[in-house]
């Protein structure tokens, strides 16, 4: 591997910088007329089509990006990841989420040990346990079957599983398997989230899954204690053994909390929190809801993309192409954001999940060797399903700031509706927008076109669309569990590619620590002010004033009282 240096010093980087002015002389309107160019920007793999012809790029740009990939040692970095090397150097860990969905007979090693058998022993345990719960052979403390599950966790222990759950809810096969069951997610330490999630649930028929890699996260542990209280105050403390299970890498803390280690589902420190949805973090709650065989299809979809990412030449490699184009947009064209726009309500939680995967991974200020970066990394990810977004923030995307967009469309709806007398099906109506929006962004509308439509002069500037706004389209054949797995893995690997090119560590997250430790200080102050009447001290003027105000109005509750929220 090359000695520590920044990728921006490479000739290939400088070449791309110089190339920006070539692109600035072109308009997407013209680029889209070049059919050969467009043909070369269409890739298909395992039913998924990527069309990146509406990127502000031509074949030359792509060639330069592939050269940059070579300069950044992208191939070697991917290999090092798959070989289990400690590429997360600040935490001295391998990065092996690909092992979580590998077939049983695959060999993937971390620290000289094949981890695939460990993965499968947890998957087998989940299969067995979820079948017992779903069949009613595992019952609660009062002998009733457990039909509802509350998964308690935050960040990576929440967003991925929520995305997959939301995507599967309306898939006919998954929905059939989930009949009569509910899966809810409690993430925020806000007691309002507790109240919302417990509404309508009966502790007698509820299983709580506490999901935390570290088993120390303040929000999750307080929520777990709150739900433990909810169970034991109603069914007695002995009921906890039947109504609470855990997913963690820290089995000692699980036991200390009072959950039987036999009912704990392990994962490993080589699984990053935001990359953990394919571990027990997602597989356990989702198997309880949908059955293991549906979840296995999701894992297979992700695994198929893992193979594609590992073995396909970069020119045809969907995650690599997406990652390189993101680097082009962020670093060279200077577009700081990315909109994720799935034309499927089932994908409504996709953007929030990718927001964590991307922004926690790539929002860094130094290289992997600790050198301050003279360029920006990461992008601001946000998104909403179409067409809802169209009636919200698309105004800005069309006529305000330039935001590269990912349009994600599905060929076959999970829930088709065709009304008699309508010229198209409901899904066709949705997809008409999916096909139209990228062209509206690329082509825009000129003053000449408006004049020919006899638009009043004073309105012409307001009705003009500059166009030349980049987007890409991903078309999926359907939205089965398998396709959901594919989509997840495409984005996970794309984000890794970006980080590999920028030369950062995409797998640590030191940026979340400072706020956490300051909150510890505030927590101590609140406790001491309440219990010992201690004045607020050690904070700046602003925080002191705000805290004092908070304490004045919030007298607190006596320490021996438990108040569980109710709505």
Q: Which residues are catalytic?
A: 360, 391, 516
Specify the DSSP element, H or E, that contains 126.
helix 116-135
* CA neighbor of 303 nearest in space, from 493, 113, 125, 115: 493
Q: What is the enclosing helix (H) or strand (E) of 42?
A: strand 42-45
Tell me the DSSP string of 321-377.
HHHHHHHIIIIIS---EEEEEES-GGGTTHHHHHHHHHHHHH--SB-TTSPBPSS--
Structure tokens at 538: 């050690």
Q: Which residue has the tokens 């067409």?
A: 387
State which H helix or E strand residue 530 sits in: helix 513-532
Interface region with ligand F6P, contact rule CB under 6 A, candidates 207-215, 289-297, 332-340, 404-412: 207-215
Does residue 378 touch ligand F6P according to CB under 6 A?
no
Q: How far is the CB of 212 from ligand F6P (least distance, A)?
A: 3
- Smallest gap from Cβ 210 to ligand F6P, in A, equals 9
Q: Which residues contact 533 (CB under 8 A, 6 or more apart)?
A: none
Nearer to ligand F6P, 171 or 360 (CB): 360
Distance CA 564, CA 232 (A): 12
Site for ligand F6P in 13-72 (CB under 6 A): none
Based on CB atoms, which residue is closest to ligand F6P, 148 or 360?
360
Q: Which of residues 355-374 bind ligand F6P (CB under 6 A)?
A: 360
Instruction: For the CB of residue 253, give the shortest distance to ligand F6P in the complex, in Å.
Output: 10
Using CB under 6 A, count the residues that bind ligand F6P.
Answer: 14
CA distance 563 to 545: 28
Q: Which is nearer to ligand F6P, 233 or 520 (CB)?
A: 520
User: Which CB, 7 or 278, lies closer to ligand F6P?
Assistant: 278
Residues 348, 340: contact at Cβ < 8 Å? no
**Would you say 218 or 436 has its CB closer to ligand F6P?**
218
Give the x-and-dash track for 141-170 against ligand F6P (CB under 6 A): -------------xxxx-------------
> Which H or E element spans position 286?
helix 280-290
Choice between 171 and 498, CB closer to ligand F6P: 498
N- to C-terminal Cα separation, the chain: 59
482-518 as b/e: b if 16+ CB within 10 A: bbbbbbbbbbbbbbbbbbbbbbbbbbbbeeeeeeeee
512 interacts with ligand F6P by CB under 6 A = yes
| 167: nearest Cα among 348, 366, 5 | 348
Smaller CB separation from ligand F6P, 355 or 509 = 509
Least CB distance to ligand F6P at residue 110 (A):
19
Shortest approach of ligand F6P to residue 282 CB, angstroms? 12
Pick from 64, 93, 184, 274 the residue near ligand F6P by CB under 6 A: 274
Kindly state the smallest distance separating residue 392's Cβ from ligand F6P, in Å.
Answer: 27
Question: Between residue 219 and residue 258, which ones bind ligand F6P under the rule CB under 6 A?
Answer: 220
Stretch that binds ligand F6P, among 72-80, 210-218, 372-380, 467-475 (CB under 6 A): 210-218
**Residue with token string 């439509």:** 453
- Rounded-to-integer distance, Cα 409 and Cα 535, Å: 57
Say if CB 276 and CB 284 are below 8 A apart: no
* 217 contacts ligand F6P (rule: CB under 6 A): yes
Distance of closest approach, residue 491 Cβ to ligand F6P, in angstroms: 16
Tokens of 527: 């406790």
Q: Determine the longest span between alpha carbons in the chain, in angstroms.
A: 78
Applying CB under 6 A, among 101, 213, 228, 243 the residue interacting with ligand F6P is 213
- Cβ closer to ligand F6P: 50 or 126? 126
Per-residue x/- track, 490-509, ligand F6P (CB under 6 A): -------------------x
How far lies 515's CA from each of 371, 509, 529, in Å? Answer: 23, 12, 21
Nearest distance from C-beta of residue 220 to ligand F6P, angstroms: 5
Q: Which stretch binds ligand F6P (CB under 6 A): 206-214, 436-444, 526-534, 555-563?
A: 206-214
Binding site for ligand F6P (CB under 6 A): 154-157, 212-214, 217, 220, 273-274, 360, 509, 512
């Amino acid at each position: 591997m090359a000695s520590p240096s920044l990728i921006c010093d490479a000739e290939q980087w400088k070449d791309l910088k110089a190339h920006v002015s070539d692109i600035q002389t072109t308009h997407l309107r013209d680029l889209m007329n070049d059919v050969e160019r467009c043909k070369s920007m269409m890739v298909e793999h395992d039913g998924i089509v990527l069309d990146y012809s509406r990127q502000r790029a031509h074949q030359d740009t792509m060639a330069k990006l592939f050269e940059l990939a070579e300069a950044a040692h992208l191939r070697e970095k991917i290999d090092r990841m798959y070989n289990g090397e400690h590429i997360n150097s600040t935490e001295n860990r391998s990065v092996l989420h690909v092992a979580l969905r590998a077939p049983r007979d695959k060999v993937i090693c971390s620290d000289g040990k094949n981890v695939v058998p460990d993965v499968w022993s947890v998957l087998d345990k989940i299969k067995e346990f979820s079948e017992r719960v779903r069949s009613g052979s595992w019952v609660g403390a009062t002998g009733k079957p457990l039909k509802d599950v509350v998964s308690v966790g935050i960040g990576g222990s929440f967003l991925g599983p929520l995305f997959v759950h939301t995507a599967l809810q309306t898939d006919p096969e998954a929905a059939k398997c989930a009949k009569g069951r509910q899966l809810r997610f409690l993430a925020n330490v806000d007691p309002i989230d507790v109240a919302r999630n417990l509404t309508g649930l009966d502790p007698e028929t509820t299983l709580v899954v506490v999901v935390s890699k570290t088993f120390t996260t303040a929000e999750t542990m307080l929520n777990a204690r709150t739900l433990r209280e909810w169970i034991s105050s109603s069914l007695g403390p002995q009921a906890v053994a039947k109504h609470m299970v855990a997913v963690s890498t820290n089995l000692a803390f699980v036991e200390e909390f009072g959950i039987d280690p036999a009912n704990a589902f392990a994962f490993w420190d080589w699984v990053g929190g935001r990359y953990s949805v394919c571990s027990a973090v997602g597989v356990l709650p989702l198997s309880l809801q949908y059955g293991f065989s549906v979840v296995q299809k999701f894992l297979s979809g992700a695994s198929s993309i893992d193979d594609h990412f590992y073995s396909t030449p970069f020119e045809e490699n969907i995650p690599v192409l997406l990652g390189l184009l993101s680097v082009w947009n962020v670093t060279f064209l200077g577009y700081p954001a990315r909109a994720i726009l799935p034309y499927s309500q089932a994908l409504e939680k996709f953007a929030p999940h990718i927001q964590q995967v991307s922004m926690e991974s790539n929002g860094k200020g130094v290289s992997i060797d600790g050198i301050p970066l003279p360029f920006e990394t990461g992008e601001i990810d946000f998104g909403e399903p179409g067409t809802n977004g169209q009636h919200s923030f698309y105004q800005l995307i069309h006529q305000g700031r330039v935001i590269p967009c990912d349009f994600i469309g599905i060929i076959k709806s999970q829930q088709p509706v065709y009304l008699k007398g309508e010229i198209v099906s409901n899904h066709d109506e949705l997809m008409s927008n999916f096909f139209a929006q990228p062209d509206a962004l690329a082509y825009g509308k000129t003053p000449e076109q408006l004049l020919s439509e006899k638009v009043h002069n004073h309105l012409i500037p307001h009705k003009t669309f500059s166009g030349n706004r980049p987007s890409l389209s991903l078309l999926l054949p359907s939205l089965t569990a398998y396709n959901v797995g594919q989509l997840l893995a495409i984005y996970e690997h794309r984000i890794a590619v970006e980080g590999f090119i920028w030369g950062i560590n995409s797998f640590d997250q030191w940026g979340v620590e400072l706020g956490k430790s300051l909150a510890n200080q505030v927590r101590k102050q609140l406790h001491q002010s309440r219990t010992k009447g201690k004045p607020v001290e050690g904070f700046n003027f602003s925080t002191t004033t705000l805290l004092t105000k908070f304490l004045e109005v919030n007298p607190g509750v006596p320490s021996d009282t438990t108040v569980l929220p109710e709505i």
